[in-house]
Amino acid sequence: MRAINGRRHAPNSRIISALFVCSGMALAFVAAAKTKDPTATGIHGHVRDSDKTAIEGVHVKAMNSKSKATIATDTNADGEFALSKLASGIYDVTFSKDGFEFMLYPHIRVSKNQPIALDVTIHRAAGAPPLKQPN
């Protein structure tokens, strides 16, 4: 109970209901914010060569086997990549870079909120020049 003008009043039930609805909406927004992880639905990982050196600039492409929709990215300086916000389905994932052998990972099943981690080793193509090492 609260006092208004010296008199005690019970809280208005409509105000209490509105507070519960608002707090429920706030919790829903917090839950939605927590699921905005870029890897929540998608494929992520690292690309390295056979010496375990991270490979920058590898083109990574995922194609949905059914819809043929594709999403692509390139690895960063640490060899990391992330293909996020993929629709659930089966994907063929390819890795390509000049001087390296083409890699295909077929039939990767992507499900909502279940990220797939792929740590890939790609091999230098025969006769390819060595990688430039950072100073």
Q: Please report the pLDDT score of residue 112 as a whole number.
A: 86
Residue 56 in domain: yes
Ranges of the chain whose pLDDT falls below 50: 15-36, 38-39
Q: Is-contact 112 75, C-beta < 8 A? A: no
Same domain, 11 and 29: yes
Q: Please report the pLDDT score of residue 134 as a whole number.
A: 53
Same domain, 51 and 115: yes
Domain, as residue range, for 30: 2-34
The pTM (predicted TM-score) of the whole model is 0.66
Same domain, 99 and 58: yes
How many angstroms separate the CA atoms of 6 and 105, rounded?
74
Residue 129 in domain: no
Q: With 0-12 CB in 10 A as exposed, 13-18 as middle and 19+ as buried, what is 49?
A: middle
Measured in whole angstroms, the distance separating CA 1 from the mean position of its chain's CA atoms is 49
Residue 126 in domain: no
